[in-house]
Structure 1
């Protein structure tokens, strides 16, 4: 087994990251590339995907809708056959919608279910079928501080992220025997396009800084270390774990 810095090297590995044309997914793509991985960017918007690939350079792209089970399966199978193995999957695709629960639109609830949790199943299963055959693979699901906590106006989002945490445990339970490590990263409050409205809200930012022991918003680059660790040999016996990267917010009252 590798030792020292080699434990964290991703040289020779290929990582598919869903929803990676911006925000957390884009930052993780850049970080994994710097650790030696070949990165496959994914998204539904081909123009945004092309722009992200141009910005990063030396990446591959695979456009598909992560909520379309048949489309995901076809895209992953074709890529594996024509290009090569996907060694690492980061299920990052996600969305947010805020509304009081008693007025929450049913259509938005369904969209959250499909984007935040069904996509993890669809892409996870499609990639795992190939990883199982090779006896190795890394699956990292992007959960949230809302996997453990709730706050007003996002109850359905909280439900989906709680499900991501439990699906991660289920993946590990079923697939660890095949040589896969399936874990999750749960970001706290990060300055991303998804949180733009909250970042712009001075009152919310002031509350967050008081509520978080670290006293600030997270920066997306601070998620890279956790992703590299869970993608590398250094986490060879870590399975079914949710790693909170949240400035301590889940540790304190």
Structure 2
């Protein structure tokens, strides 16, 4: 084993869906820094092009809500060794306040579109006998709070979808894993960041006492994409600052 090259991705093609900003952009930059040829996909083409410029990759417009477009992209991009997808949305409302339209919007992007992406790109990987699929779940797949019910349900569903793909694709040499971030400063969490009390409460919940920055998710992506994780599949890698490890914040007296 050449441990000096354990995390290198030279000669591999990676597609990052949601590469236009946030965790997706940082994932694309990190994969490229480790030698991968990166295709930056996003429904906002100009944002994808900016990421591609930063990492020396190429950009494509892709709306994952369009199943036909996802299948066309998977066929048209040729051999893909690494797939990363981060696209998600949230409507922070209590269950009794949710509308059917809001429910469908969250489920459609977070779960149905993920189903289409995994199947479309996974088929080619299975046929070629290699590949790594990395989907972004959340701590909300295992712990929740008021106002997060539908989002949590979709992320729990995504974890089980990816585990099933790991079981089905594994005999063909394809690994499938999930990254589960805690609270990360991205456009998706701007509503919380803008509320000082809410922001502070979330910072205090993690063992590290702060929020994560998007670049702090990139190491997990590189790891799962690389030979360093050659025997890792069906896993959920929590990158949450200890959020799910800590039960309460009270420090008992000595």
Q: TM tier, shorter chain?
A: over 0.9
Is 1:161 aligned to 2:155, yes or no?
A: yes
The Cα RMSD (Å) is 1.2
Q: TM-score, normalised by structure 1?
A: 0.94
Is 1:105 aligned to 2:104, yes or no?
A: no
Flag the 1:57–1:32 CA change in 2: closer, same or farther, 3 A. Answer: closer
Q: Which residue among 210, 234, 238 is the counterpart of 2:228?
A: 234
Aligned length: 247
Separation in 1, partners of 2:202, 2:157: 25
Separation in 2, partners of 1:237, 1:52: 30
Q: Quick check: 1:68–1:122 contact (8 Å CA) kept in 2?
A: no
* 1:123 match: secondary structure: helix
* 1:141 match: secondary structure: strand
1:205 is displaced (CA, Å) by 1.9
Query: Which stretches in structure 2 are left out of the alignment for 5+ residues?
Result: 248-254
Task: Extract structure 1 runs of 4+ deviating beyond 4 A.
Answer: none
Query: Which stretches in structure 1 are left out of the alignment for 5+ residues?
Result: none
1:46 is displaced (CA, Å) by 2.0
Separation in 1, partners of 2:228, 2:52: 28
Aligned to 1:52: 51
Q: Quick check: 1:18–1:93 contact (8 Å CA) kept in 2?
A: yes
Separation in 1, partners of 2:48, 2:218: 20
1:50 is displaced (CA, Å) by 2.4
Aligned to 2:61: 63
Aligned to 2:86: 92
Separation in 2, partners of 1:24, 1:185: 11
Q: Quick check: 2:23–2:218 contact (8 Å CA) kept in 1?
A: no
* 1:234 match: secondary structure: helix
* 2:28 match: secondary structure: helix
* 1:96 match: secondary structure: coil
